[in-house]
Amino acid sequence: MAKSLTFVQQISPDFLARLYTLATERNFPAGAVLYMDGDPAEYLYLISSGQVKLTKTTVDGKELTLQVFGSGELVGLAGLFEAELVHTASAAILEDGAVRVIPRAGLEQILIKNGEYCVDFMRWMGIMNRRMQSKFRDLLLNGKVGALYSTLIRMCNTYGEERSEGIYINLSLTNRDLAHFIGLTRESVNRMLSDLKKQQVIDLLPHGHILIKDLTYLKETICCDDCPPEICQI
């Protein structure tokens, strides 16, 4: 399947090399927290290996998974060129990995002094904003069923592997994890997944993996706009 470019693939090699000179690489175990909602946004995190989950917790204690980032992605941008910025979500390590920690002040100085790097960075920021807007649009407009279907489509674009029997989503998820992506209960997700399995649209595999057997059905049901892969991401 067509895959979107990661942050490191969208910027120039010179820009990446400058970021590496600023960064300190650290290893994190699964479950470690990079930052919490409300923490000062003094650093950004460039993922070398592993996965990072971005979450938001509502006032009533419900957790919503906003995004899952993999190798080559940049996490933790709350803004630039403003004083006393804070993170508006929490980031935690999903699996053991390494992360390059980049001071926000250092990145700002690089962008001030190098206009060509600003273009790379603004292009990436634009894609990230469109990605989040697209996701929230689907969650708001398509209802519970549409929210699940659009999430499965995005997972195909982000983690999908073409196989003879369908698209294998190479991300281990419990039904509770999947519910957190769309703000539903685990029981609701269980019922909808069971219905899709009965219709032979999906197959539920061991270890929390999903095989999408009829992607066209999911797209047609929610009148999918067929956004480009860099936008239709989880």
pLDDT top residue among 141 and 131: 131
Among 113, 128, 147, identify where a domain stops: 113
How does pLDDT run across 182-199, given as a tens digit for each residue? 877 888 888 999 999 999
Q: Which amino acid is at 123?
A: R
Residues 101 and 12 in one domain: yes
196 inside domain:
yes
Q: What is the pLDDT of residue 68?
A: 86
Residue numbers of the domain that contains 91: 7-113
160-163/97-103 β-pairing: unpaired
- Under a CB-based contact definition with an 8 Å cutoff, are residues 28 and 99 in contact? yes
What's the rounded Cα separation, in Å, for the pair 104 and 137?
30
Instruction: Using pLDDT thresholds of 50, 70 and 90, give the confidence band for residue 119.
Output: very high
Q: How many residues does the chain have?
A: 234
Tally of domains in the chain: 2
Query: What is the model's pTM?
Result: 0.80
How does pLDDT run across 19-30, given as a tens digit for each residue? 999 999 999 999
108 inside domain:
yes
How does pLDDT run across 52-96, given as a tens digit for each residue? 999 988 777 778 888 888 899 999 988 888 888 899 899 999 889
Quick one: what percent of the chain has pLDDT higher than 70?
Answer: 98
What CATH number does the domain containing 180 carry?
1.10.10.10
Q: What is the pLDDT of residue 26?
A: 96
Q: What is the pLDDT of residue 181?
A: 82
Quick one: what percent of the chain has pLDDT higher than 90?
Answer: 44
Residues 85 and 148 in one domain: no
What are the tokens at 214? 């009829």
Least confident of 72-86, 105-119, 214-228: 214-228
Which candidate, 139, 132, 178, places its Cα nearest to that of 155? 178
What's the rounded Cα separation, in Å, for the pair 92 and 104?
19
**DSSP category for residue 136:** H
Query: Residue ranges of the alpha helices (H) in 35-114?
Result: 104-113
Q: What is the pLDDT of residue 3?
A: 60
pLDDT of 231 > 70? The answer is yes
Mean pLDDT for the chain?
Answer: 87
Residues 12 and 109 in one domain: yes
What CATH number does the domain containing 82 carry?
2.60.120.10
DSSP H or E segment with residue 154: helix 143-159
